[in-house]
Amino acid sequence: MNIGILSRSTQLYSTRSLYQAGRRRGHTVHVIDHTRCSLVIDENGHQIFYESALLPVLDAVIPRIGASVTGQGAAVINQFELMGVVSPTSAAALQIARDKLRCLQLLAQQGIPVPRTVMVGPYGNTEKVVDLLGGFPVVVKLLESTHGIGVELAGSSWELQRLLDYYFQHHDRVILQEFIEEARGADIRALVVDGKVVACMRRQAQPGEFRSNLHRGASSFSVKLKAEELELVERVVHTMKIDVAGVDILPSGKGPLVMEVNASPGLEGIETTTGVDVAGKIIRLLEKKVKAKNQL
């Protein structure tokens, strides 16, 4: 197969891991910086130029789209989809996953448990909202946060107002969430390939920190999901119509809650923590999808 990894750098762990996994299985692999792609649309069909050259014909792409370029990345995936190129992540799924509110709305609509969440606007009554969330502290999140940047804990009206004033000044969109204290800075990352959980780790935030992102120095170890959690994760990816994802679960007194879905999950933490060859599984998923498409 001819596989394109949509990534801005060949130096990133996930890009390298996917590249090597593709080569190991005998495929030709190209790393394509989606921010350098020009999409040509006319009545004769669709084409993609990489800088000044027409891209080779690809069988499949693997999107590794950074949070700062979601719109451009989604447009490129969409163009590939229109050209009949297989992708484990659709443009639509990427965009839903990247918008925390839209993602939670969709999951909650399907009866999937999520932390109680309120979208606030610049003129809302914040006191009322805090009451709705069971009082302070509350979690304040930017809709497009990543690596825990833009996720804060507000312990008082004063702290909350200071954060909201800052975010609204910068025209950011913000959600407030009940703080799940009993999680004690831990969460579970389940890596899904082809609709099934293939690797799973528990992440524990550093002392004094509630965010369990590995980028914030959290530690991680391999775990096995309980049947209830496994079923929950599979319902999430089915609802999101996404084949490859990192699903984050927060343990709570009410049972497991789905916190977010990562459409381009990092592979370094999960592969090194669990020893599972996630990249190899993604390549095999592409082989299966391309074969199924060619049989149509």
Ligand X SMILES: Nc1ncnc2c1ncn2[C@@H]1O[C@H](COP(=O)(O)OP(=O)(O)O)[C@@H](O)[C@H]1O
Which residues are at the interface with ligand X (CB under 6 A)? Answer: 115, 139, 141, 145-148, 151, 177-180, 183, 187, 210-213, 248, 250, 259-260
Closer residue to ligand X (CB): 237 or 250: 250
* CA atoms of 261 and 189, how far apart (whole Å): 10
Whether the CB-CB separation of 267 and 13 falls below 8 Å is answered with yes
Closer residue to ligand X (CB): 78 or 213: 213
Closer residue to ligand X (CB): 4 or 148: 148
In the bound complex, what is the minimum distance in angstroms from residue 217's beta carbon to ligand X? 12
In the bound complex, what is the minimum distance in angstroms from residue 107's beta carbon to ligand X? 13
In the bound complex, what is the minimum distance in angstroms from residue 274's beta carbon to ligand X? 18
Bridge partners, 41 (sequence order): 46
Closer residue to ligand X (CB): 8 or 211: 211
In the bound complex, what is the minimum distance in angstroms from residue 171's beta carbon to ligand X? 19
Helix (H, G, I), strand (E, B) or coil at 124: coil
* CA atoms of 23 and 278, how far apart (whole Å): 15
| 165 token code pair | 């004033």
Closer residue to ligand X (CB): 55 or 244: 244
Identity of the residue numbered 295: Q
In the bound complex, what is the minimum distance in angstroms from residue 200's beta carbon to ligand X? 15
Give residues with Cβ within 8 angstroms of 60, minimum separation 6. 1, 2, 3, 4, 85, 86, 87, 286, 289, 290
Alpha helices in the chain, H assignment, sequence order: 13-24, 70-82, 91-98, 100-109, 126-132, 157-169, 227-240, 268-274, 278-294
